[in-house]
Structure 1
Amino acid sequence: MDWINLVVEMAMPVVLAIVTLLVGLAVIKVLVNIISKQIYKSKLDESLKPFIMSVISIGLKLLLVVSVVGILGIPTASFVAILGSFGLALGLAFQGSLSNLAGGVLLLTMRPFKVGDYIEGAGYSGTVKAIQILYTELVTPDNKMIYVPNGNMSNSGIVNYSVHDTRRVDFTFGVGYEADNQHVLDTLKQIVLKHPKVLLDPEPFVRLSGHGDSAVEYTVRAWTKADDYWDVHFDLLEEVKTTFDKESISIPYPQMAIHTVND
């Protein structure tokens, strides 16, 4: 019966470790939910909240693994040393992931953008939904989710369209050479100034800016609130076309003059 006692003695730590693991995972899930609710209710920056929750979840699970290893009778110090060596080897194998981790820390430290900002970076654009440990989540205007590695994001140029309250809408319109210059300028100024979402300070800019091959070019620059940018952009485009037609101001097609010489 000694072998039965031996099996029981060996099985007990294994069973206890399994129970501890299962109960521990359940407890961690509950704790993470409770902490998550408190963090998301707090006044912490929205960009930090997902990152902090990821770190807490991973940290608690690592502690649970160390506890389970201790229950199995494996010396904790030795396990930590082995875990460190394994982590080093794993780090060398997954240098990209470590780069993403460092990129996430850099983004949260330098804070070139925050949750809710509309940005361009690493070849993608969208509204920032969350900054995770390894990835930044972007939501595109057509509601697609993009997961951009933090390493790529932190090492690329980032354009943040949400930093300032106002933005400038820029246009270049081509007009036929036969059109009266002052008439065109007055018409464009009237179109811009009558739009209710165009700001008068800074004053809108309307000037002749170039002589093209087929058209005289006019530059229009108008300031508006950042939230109204696309409304102003499309409204002015439509209004210019409509008004030019009414005022008989032509928008010419590209033209090429060909001269033939008869021998």
Structure 2
Amino acid sequence: MQENDKVDSLKDVIQAPFKDLEYINNIILTKGAEIGWSLVSALLTLFIGFWIAGRLKRIIERRMIARNVDLSIRTFLIPIINIILKLIVVVFVVTRLGLNASGFIAALGGAGLAIGLALQGSLSNFAAGILIIIFKPFKVGDYIVSQGNEGTVESISLLNTVIHTAKGQVITLPNANLFNNPIVNYSIKEYRRLDVNIGISYGDDFDKAKKVLEEVLIDNEYVDQDQSKTVEILEFAASSVNLAVRCYVKNSDYWTAYWQIYRQVKYALDENNISIPYPHTEMIIKTNNESPNLPFEPRD
């Protein structure tokens, strides 16, 4: 009898690991199928959700264009809307996996706070970008000058503003620097004053020169004849009388008018024999027939 008990106990010892493996196998087969289906459904949800988010973003962008929403606002808001829509999809996927969505959101908020503290400059640029969109010191397409940089605004993004210079350069400026420093915007007004400074000789007739230059402004097609035109003496320089020639042209015609008026001024002055002097030095030599007595000459 004792021998049978020993045999049974030996069988139990040998079969115990196999029973444990069978139990683990059953768990893997049952729970693994559930986990695998959850992962597959979560990936499908993520893929479909991102596709829907992209479609919604494009629909919102088209609606903005149809309602003539300013390009600056569109380029600033569309990336934010895209990020928000994708975050909503990620939260839904986390919920689909059976995880605690509130905990995920809290962790996401904590991570955002830590990143924000590490990137305080970027947050100030983001805040400045929002203020630029709200107060509109400039918009996409405006010609601006700030901190020695000038050009046409190409885009206003979350952190930076991109301008395109007349030399073909692309300059990226942080929004905070732009908003916290003076900005000269040449595109807000329809017309812009064009300044031409020209020098004539002291021996030339000012009234004649004034009449010639006024005729140049009257005949030029880009000069707005309804606004004031000025031709006056600006200063008395070392070798010339500098004249201030002022008129108003449309912003869109500024550089065309600039080159054309300078060229016409040169031609008009040449045709009327009015010289444009350049810096020079005059040497005056006085002669006297009677030679003065020199101190070393003997006297009678």
* Structures share fold, TM-score greater than 0.5: yes
Are positions 1:129 and 2:143 aligned together?
Answer: no
Pairs within 5 Å for 1:78-157: 78-141=103-166, 144-157=169-182
Are positions 1:16 and 2:41 aligned together?
Answer: yes
The one of the two structures with greater contact order (alpha-carbon pairs below 8 A, sep at least 6) is: 1
**How many angstroms apart in 2 are the aligned matches of 1:258 and 1:75?**
94
Q: 1:241 aligns with which of 266, 271, 288?
A: 266
**How many angstroms apart in 2 are the aligned matches of 1:209 and 1:35?**
55
**How many angstroms apart in 2 are the aligned matches of 1:41 and 1:143?**
31
Name the amino acid aligned to 1:25.
Answer: F
Name the amino acid aligned to 1:158.
Answer: I
Change (3 A) 1:208 1:94: same
Structure 2 partner of 1:217: 242
Name the amino acid aligned to 1:228.
Answer: D
Pairs within 5 Å for 1:224-263: 224-257=249-282
Q: Does the Cα contact within 8 Å between 1:176 and 1:251 map onto a contact in 2?
A: yes
Structure 1 residue 41 displacement after superposition: 1.1
Q: Does the Cα contact within 8 Å between 1:118 and 1:128 map onto a contact in 2?
A: yes
Name the amino acid aligned to 2:78.
Answer: M
Consecutive unaligned residues of structure 2, counting only runs of 5 or more, are 1-24, 286-300
> 1:38 aligns to what SS in structure 2?
helix
**How many angstroms apart in 1 are the aligned matches of 2:215 and 2:168?**
37
| TM-score in terms of structure 2 length | 0.79
> 1:182 aligns to what SS in structure 2?
helix
> 2:71 aligns to what SS in structure 1?
coil
Consecutive unaligned residues of structure 1, counting only runs of 5 or more, are none
Structure 2 partner of 1:174: 199
Structure 1 residue 130 displacement after superposition: 3.1
| Structure with bigger gyration radius | 2
Are positions 1:75 and 2:100 aligned together?
Answer: yes
**How many angstroms apart in 2 are the aligned matches of 1:163 and 1:99?**
26
**How many angstroms apart in 2 are the aligned matches of 1:145 and 1:66?**
38
**How many angstroms apart in 2 are the aligned matches of 1:174 and 1:29?**
62
Moved over 3 A (4+): 139-147, 256-260
**How many angstroms apart in 1 are the aligned matches of 2:59 and 2:226?**
48
Q: 1:63 aligns with which of 69, 85, 88?
A: 88
Structure 1 residue 152 displacement after superposition: 2.0
Structure 1 residue 16 displacement after superposition: 2.1
Structure 1 residue 234 displacement after superposition: 1.1
* Residue deviations 1:186-208 (CA, integer Å, cap 9, x gap): 22122222212222332211111
Q: Does the Cα contact within 8 Å between 1:122 and 1:148 map onto a contact in 2?
A: no
* Residue deviations 1:80-114 (CA, integer Å, cap 9, x gap): 11111111110011112211210111001111122
Structure 1 residue 62 displacement after superposition: 0.9
> 1:119 aligns to what SS in structure 2?
strand
**How many angstroms apart in 1 are the aligned matches of 2:92 and 2:59?**
22
Structure 2 partner of 1:198: 223
Q: Quote the sequence identity (%).
A: 37
Q: Does the Cα contact within 8 Å between 1:174 and 1:252 map onto a contact in 2?
A: yes
Structure 1 residue 75 displacement after superposition: 0.8
> 1:253 aligns to what SS in structure 2?
coil
Structure 1 residue 122 displacement after superposition: 4.5
Q: Does the Cα contact within 8 Å between 1:168 and 1:221 map onto a contact in 2?
A: yes
Name the amino acid aligned to 1:56.
Answer: I
Number of equivalent positions: 260
**How many angstroms apart in 2 are the aligned matches of 1:123 and 1:75?**
52
Name the amino acid aligned to 2:70.
Answer: D
| TM-score in terms of structure 1 length | 0.90
**How many angstroms apart in 1 are the aligned matches of 2:207 and 2:148?**
42
Are positions 1:49 and 2:70 aligned together?
Answer: no
> 1:47 aligns to what SS in structure 2?
helix
